[in-house]
């Protein structure tokens, strides 16, 4: 059996197969190709060629990621999206531009609407099958629920103000 000699074409094919599944940043694709034991020089050559052919674009990858995380089913906050973009190798300027905090009332309203939907979903799942304790103080139970909801929204990356307003709307104290 002949040993397999890594070639530019084989490495490019591997990269294109990865890009067929979803958009990747240069850093992500580099990591994945190196994990598959491709030589560093070959990987760099392929990545440069893919960028020159506009098949690898960090900004387009970041835009697709932001859009996918802003749908009501996932509803991530901008802080968490920005953090994830940085982890994926998107430069700070691009990440900051795409995840700027809402400046006008329409953007702020959308952010609050997504947070409120996430809050309602969280409460439905939290309350499902749960019975209140007979000796539980209703005020303290609401405070605990509000705090849990606030922590959940903060973990999703919403600003403290948005967390508070959405938690108030979903579980008034």
* Blockwise average pLDDT, block size 10, the chain, 173 residues: 72 94 94 94 95 93 88 79 92 87 74 88 79 72 87 91 90 65
Nearest to 118 by CA among 161, 172, 170: 170
* DSSP, res 6: P
Q: Which pLDDT belongs to residue 53?
A: 94
Q: For the whole prediction, is pTM greater than 0.75? A: no
**Rounded-to-integer distance, Cα 111 and Cα 107, Å:** 6
Residue ranges of the alpha helices (H) in the chain?
A: 8-21, 26-35, 40-52, 58-69, 78-87, 92-98, 105-127, 138-155, 160-170
pLDDT given at position 43 = 94
What is the pLDDT at residue 121?
Answer: 87
Tell me how far apart the alpha carbons of residues 153 and 125 are, in angstroms, rounded to a whole number.
14
CA atoms 109, 110, 112, 117: torsion sign = positive
């Amino acid at each position: 059996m002949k040993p397999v000699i890594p070639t530019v074409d084989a490495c490019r094919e591997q990269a294109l197969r990865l890009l067929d599944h979803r958009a990747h940043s240069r850093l992500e694709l580099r990591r994945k190709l190196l994990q598959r034991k491709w030589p560093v020089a070959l990987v760099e050559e392929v990545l440069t060629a893919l960028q020159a052919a506009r098949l690898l674009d960090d900004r387009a990858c970041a835009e697709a990621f932001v859009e996918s995380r802003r749908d009501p089913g996932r509803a991530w906050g901008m802080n968490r999206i920005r953090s994830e973009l940085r982890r994926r190798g998107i430069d700070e300027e691009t990440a900051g531009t795409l995840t700027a905090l809402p400046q006008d009332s329409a953007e702020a309203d959308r952010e609050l609407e997504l947070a409120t939907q996430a809050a309602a979903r969280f409460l439905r799942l939290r309350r499902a099958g749960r019975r209140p304790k007979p000796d539980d103080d209703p005020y303290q139970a609401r405070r605990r629920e509000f705090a849990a909801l606030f922590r959940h929204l903060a973990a999703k990356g919403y600003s403290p103000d948005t967390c508070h307003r959405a938690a108030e709307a979903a579980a008034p104290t």
